[in-house]
Structure 1
């Protein structure tokens, strides 16, 4: 009796490979694996031919934290967050008319990277970030005024990475690093 042919391994699409690379980098950034383990894992992921090879590399990593998303929205009025508050992985801020103030200097970050999506019509916005934060505003689109932000070199490594994206109509976004 002739054995049945085995199913060929399923090919890996680029999205799956990219996701595996991001998981390895995140595990390294959070201190779950060493630099050598990350290098070895990246080599295995980039040379993998089948999905099962990706699964075996990722099985050794800690489970991913569920991404948390919160939305703060008002039609008109003020949005203000300050003091000790928990910053979710994704924060959406929506306001048609009004002023937005987010002070992240004493906030608790559950994730090493935070995405803040602004959808603002009119009114200004001010975001104060921790002293050692790294801020990325490449994906933010402004209509009327430019964003005020002077890139600062972190005073110590390990600060949160804050990506600000979205759209601002008529108003200015000011981003400042906390002094302490």
Structure 2
């Protein structure tokens, strides 16, 4: 039997809460599913709790090119970027972000990433693992009331990640 990891359990709880916020679940179903998610003993039990809920991950990828999003673009609640050798630049400063929190997962073997946050936004990079690369975050680390909070996770064996707030 596969045990449940803390990130998997947290993700299931987030999906259930988001489904409730989106009007897909009533209060009784929210309570029932949260209890199941928090007490699941195996990954199979946990998967059954969220099997019918949408997992709204937008996936972008590149082998050797660039992944760039700048200007006026719609930011998804969850974004995953996979890149072997390329570079990533996400400029959120002028983007449309209808969420208080977004999750960005980066899997970059040799490339690097720059994420520019809107003024006043915060970022948590505690979930980023690097071997020979580095992580520099100049944004606040704790969420601020009414501000955007970006939770960044991923792996950078040889890459670098830089996060800063917009200068405008």
TM-score interval (norm. to shorter): 0.5 to 0.7
Structure 2 residue runs of 5 or longer lacking an equivalent are: 1-8, 22-26, 33-52
> Could you tell me how far 1:52 is from its partner in structure 2?
7.7
Q: Which residue of 2 aligns with 1:146?
A: 134
TM-score, normalised relative to structure 1: 0.62
Q: Is 1:80 equivalent to 2:104 in the alignment?
A: no
How many Å separate the matches in 1 of 2:30 and 2:133? 49
Corresponding residue SS for 1:135: strand
Which structure would you say has the larger Rg? 1
How many Å separate the matches in 2 of 1:102 and 1:171? 16
How many Å separate the matches in 1 of 2:141 and 2:84? 33
> Could you tell me how far 1:86 is from its partner in structure 2?
0.6
Q: Which residue of 2 aligns with 1:168?
A: 156
Classify 1:107/1:67 alpha carbon distance in 2 versus 1 (closer, same or farther; 3 Å): farther
Structure 1 residue runs of 5 or longer lacking an equivalent are: 1-14, 28-44, 46-50, 56-64
After TM superposition, what 4+ stretches of structure 1 lie above 6 angstroms from structure 2? none
The Cα RMSD (Å) is 3.0
